[in-house]
Amino acid sequence: MQDVTWFPVAGKTFIVLGLARSGMSAVKWLLAHDAFVIAIDDDKEKEAEARKLGATTKDTFDSIGWEEVSALVQSPGVPLWFPTPHPLTQEARDKGIPIISDVDLFRLSHPQSHFVGITGTNGKSTTTALIGYILRECGIECLVGGNIGTPVLDLPHAPLYILELSSYQLDLTDGLDLHVVGWLNITPDHLDRHGSLEGYVAAKKRIFKTSGTSQIAVIGIDDTPSEMIWAEMTSCQTTIPVSINRNLNEGLHIFEGCLMDGPDKVMDVTNLPTLKGVHNFQNVAIAYGVCCALNLPKADIVKAIQTFPGLAHRQEKVRTLKGIQFINDSKGTNADATAKALAVFDHIYWIAGGKAKSDGIGSLSTYFPKIVHTFLIGEAQNSFAETLEGKVPYTKSGTLEQAVKESFHKAREDNLSSSVVLLSPACASFDQFQDFEHRGKMFCQFVNSLEE
């Protein structure tokens, strides 16, 4: 971090822009640490909630006394650069006010703790949760948060933190001095937010910025941008390459279904009950590499991986009713993530749609023969219907509740063996839900309310 004159925060004034989960968490934390807080959100009910906590709000941006502001704490969901910066963001930038994130505040307030950061396009949440589980099974005290589960500023003190970090969060920071980094993969995502693939990669790369902390990076190298990053870094810090597509003399790779550490066999990864599918090979390998970097015994790491209970909203088994499995893959927020779920199952009654991302679902055509019927929801239902026309039967259900009912009825009517109702939307959730977790919880609720 280059400019930290705003820390410590006591007695200083901060603007918190965006009062969703992480923003409200920042308001509470700053007030608890004796800072003055100006809370800003387009939702006036959220501003009223912030006022109840002790923050002030402003009717207009013109009434902000900028000379008193030490920094602007921006929520990840608020546009930083693209498609256009939020007006308050631009004004702060023009006035030279530091724009920071809740993760910056958290990192500086825990100087004695160690930090592991996980990023990539797909697999972040599974890998982050798996690392946390391995550490706890090995008797290591740690907490998991960030883009998964609990906002960082709501986490109590711990000697070690495992943080899932999104491109939105990383774009806001100027370096977190992480001790270990797990980098999974890059596929085009959030291009409307970052302007281009290059902008997206540049935001992600901020995870490696350090002001001197010795860092170990465990890097998946199976896509071109990630391999280029690994090549850039090998001369300047410790790196462990990971591949599931090729053999590596040094590093971690998959050979005939086994995780290999150079020439040495580590474990069979084909029969892990909650980590099914080739895509999980990389998640397991990265988690194993990160835990090795943290000096855990290798045999203990393997034992813990084999008992991992799985991650909510990622190929989560909700229920089997009348022989039909219901799978919650609400975490499948883009086509590449959804491909991982479609690859695992057969006789699929697919629930898809929401707030579409730029890549659509054309890339999933390889899996169309596995799909018996698609039930479309949300803003994307018309565009997705155009892609599916003449290839996969579909119904425009509109809402998730209706899609659950219709998919169950259709699956019972068809009476195929091993039928699966799969929620894997290939879309963001913000058109109808607070986030993917809310969408997944509602899916579980609708499924559990079905009657035989």
CB 286 within 8 Å of CB 276: no
Q: Give the pLDDT mean for 430-449.
A: 94
Q: Indicate whether 172 pLDDT > 60.
A: yes
CA distance 84 to 99: 16
441 compared with 195, residue with greater pLDDT:
441
Kindly state the tokens that stand for 126: 């599974």
Low-confidence winner among 146-155, 174-183, 409-418 (lowest mean pLDDT): 146-155
- Per CATH, is 104-305 categorized as 3.30.342.10? no
Q: What is the mean pLDDT of residues 25-53?
A: 96
- Average predicted confidence (pLDDT) for the chain: 93
CA dist., res. 305 & res. 258, Å (int): 13
Q: Which of 130-144, 226-240, 258-272 has the lowest mean pLDDT?
A: 226-240
Structure tokens at 403: 């899609």
- The 10s digit of each residue's pLDDT in 95-110 is 999 999 999 999 999 9
What is the 3-class SS of 312-378, one letter each residue? Answer: CCCCEEEEEECCEEEEECCCCCCHHHHHHHHHHCCCEEEEEECECCCCCCHHHHHHHHHEEEEEEEC
pLDDT digits (tens, 9 = 90+) for 200-259: 999 999 999 988 778 999 999 999 999 999 998 876 679 999 999 999 999 999 999 999
- The hierarchical CATH code for the domain 316-448 is 3.90.190.20
Is pLDDT at 445 greater than 90 in this prediction? yes
> Would you give the DSSP letter of residue 428?
B
The angle subtended at Cα 165 by Cα 431 and Cα 112, nearest 5°, is: 140
- In one-letter notation, the amino acid at residue 141 is E
pTM for the full model?
Answer: 0.82
Omega of the bond leading into 8 within 30 degrees of 0 (cis)? yes
Task: Please report which confidence band the pLDDT of residue 279 belongs to, taking 50, 70 and 90 as the band edges.
Answer: confident
- Domain spans, the chain: 13-100, 104-305, 316-448
61 HSE (CA, 13 A, CB side): 11
What's the start-to-end Cα distance of the chain, in Å? 57
Residues 300-341: tens digit of each pLDDT: 999 999 999 888 888 899 999 999 999 999 989 989 889 989
Give the integer Cα–Cα distance in Å for 113 and 122. Answer: 27
Quote the tokens at residue 410.
């259709």
Better-predicted residue by pLDDT, 147 or 359: 147
Instruction: Report the pLDDT value the prediction gives residue 191, as an integer from 0 to 100.
Output: 72
pLDDT at 1 over 60: no
- The percent of the chain in helix, strand and coil, each rounded to the nearest 5, is 35, 20, 40
Query: What's 62's DSSP letter?
Result: G
Task: Find how far residue 279's CA is from the centre of its chain.
Answer: 15
Q: Which of 374, 366, 364, 355 is nearest to 421 (CA)?
A: 374
- Whether the Cβ atoms of residue 282 and residue 185 lie closer than 8 Å to each other: yes
pLDDT of residue 253: 97
Number of neighbours of residue 252 by Cβ within 10 angstroms: 24
Tell me what pLDDT residue 6 has. Answer: 93
Assess whether pLDDT exceeds 80 at residue 165: yes
- Output the pLDDT for position 336: 86
Q: For 342-369, what is each residue's pLDDT tens digit?
A: 998 999 999 999 999 877 999 999 999 9
CA distance 261 to 172: 35
Q: What confidence tier does 25 reach under pLDDT thresholds 50, 70, 90?
A: very high
Do the bridges between strand 252-255 and strand 258-261 make them parallel or antiparallel, or are there none, so unpaired? antiparallel
pLDDT of residue 386: 97
pLDDT at 422: 98
The mean per-residue pLDDT over the stretch 145-168 comes to: 93
Closest residue by Cα to residue 344 from 259, 448, 438, 424: 424
Distance from C-alpha of 285 to C-alpha of 280, rounded to nearest angstrom: 8
pLDDT of residue 187: 86
Q: What are phi and psi of 341, to 5 degrees?
A: -75, -40
pLDDT for residue 235: 65
Nearest Cα neighbor of 8 from 71, 95, 55, 74 is 71
Is CATH 3.50.50.60 the classification given to domain 13-100? no
Calculate mean pLDDT across residues 394-421: 96
Instruction: Identify which of 308, 407, 402 has the alpha carbon closest to the alpha carbon of residue 350.
Output: 407
Rg value, the chain, Cα: 23
Q: Which residues have CB under 8 Å from 8's CB, separation 6+?
A: 33
Q: How far apart are CA 315 and CA 289, in angstroms?
A: 23
